[in-house]
Amino acid sequence: MVKKEDARVLRTKKNIEETAIMLLTTQPNFSITLLLHRANVTRGTFYKYYQNKEHLISEVHHTLIMDFIQHTQGKFHVAKMIQAVSDQAAFYNVELNLRRDSRYIKTLISRMRMQMQAQLGIIEDDDLYRRQMFQWEIIVGGYWALISKWLSENMNVAQTKLLQEFVEVLRIDTTGWTQTGLSLFDFDSIK
C-alpha cells in the first residue's frame, strides 16, 4: 500500500523547492542558512526531508524534468515544451545561457533521448531507425538553440509566434513525413 504524504508536508517541500529554484537562478552557490531564511523553515524541517543541499537540488531537478517530460509522452508536443520552459523561464535561462554546470540540461536531454529511442524501438529497419534518430537530434538541438536565444532576449516573442518561427526554420511540411523524425513531434499550437 502506497502511503500518502500529508498536505502540510507537501506544501512545506514545495515551498523549500520553489525557494531553491529561485535561489538557483539568482545565487547558485546559496547556503542552507539563506535557503532556510527565505523559505521560512527550520533547519530540522529541512533535514527531515533532504539529506543536504545536493539532495535538494537533485529533487528540484527531478521535479522540473518530470514537469517537462510529461509534454514529451507519445509525441514531443513542441508548444507544450515551450510553455513548460516559459513557466520556469528564469531557471532555464540560467541553465541554458549562464551556467557552466550543465548537469540539469544533460539529464533532461538524456531523458528525452530515452523517450525517442523507446518510440523508435518498434522500427525494424536499421537505416530508417538511424535516419529518424538523427533527424530527431537535429530538431531537438534546434529547439534548445531557439529556446536559449528566446530566453536570452527576454522572451520578446509570443510563444505562438516562437512555435511558428520554429516550424518555419525547419520548413516543416506535415504531408508525407511518416518516414522521418518529424513523425515524433506534434507542432500544433496549444488549444
34's CB contacts (< 8 A; 6+ apart) are 23, 27
The C-alpha cell at 168 is 518555419
Task: Verify that 44 and 79 share a domain, yes or no.
Answer: no
Q: How far is CA 111 from CA 35, 62, 89, 183, in A?
A: 29, 11, 20, 19
Cα distances (angstroms) measured from residue 46 to each of 3, 21, 180, 181? 21, 15, 48, 44
Q: Residue 161 pLDDT more than 80?
A: yes
30 and 116 assigned to the same domain = no
User: Are residue 39 and residue 71 in the same domain, yes or no?
Assistant: no
**How many independent structural domains does the chain possess?**
2
Give pLDDT tens digits for 74-107: 889 999 999 999 999 999 999 999 876 788 999 9
Per-residue pLDDT, 33: 97
More confident call, 178 vs 168: 168
Quote the domain boundaries for residue 164: 61-186
**In a shared domain, residues 29 and 84:** no
pLDDT at 9 over 70: yes
Please tell me the distance from the alpha carbon of residue 100 to that of residue 42, in angstroms, as a whole number.
Answer: 31
Task: With beta carbons less than 8 A apart as the criterion, state whether 52 and 161 touch.
Answer: no
Q: Retrieve residue 88's grid coordinates.
A: 520556469
Asked if the structure places residue 177 within a domain, the reply is yes
CATH code where residue 17 lies = 1.10.10
pTM above threshold 0.75: yes
Residue 185, helix vs strand vs coil: strand
HEC string of 45-108 equals HHHHHCCCHHHHHHHHHHHHHHHHHHHHCCCEEHHHHHHHHHHCHHHHHHHHHHCCCCHHHHHH
| Amino acid code (one letter) for 95 | E
Residue 111: pLDDT over 80: yes
Q: What is the pLDDT of residue 174?
A: 56
pLDDT digits (tens, 9 = 90+) for 38-70: 999 999 999 999 999 999 999 999 999 999 999
Instruction: Specify the pLDDT at position 49.
Output: 96
36 and 91 fall within a common domain: no
**191 domain residue, yes or no:** no
**pLDDT (0 to 100) of residue 172:** 63
Cβ atoms of 150 and 166 closer than 8 Å: no
Residue 85 belongs to some domain of the structure: yes
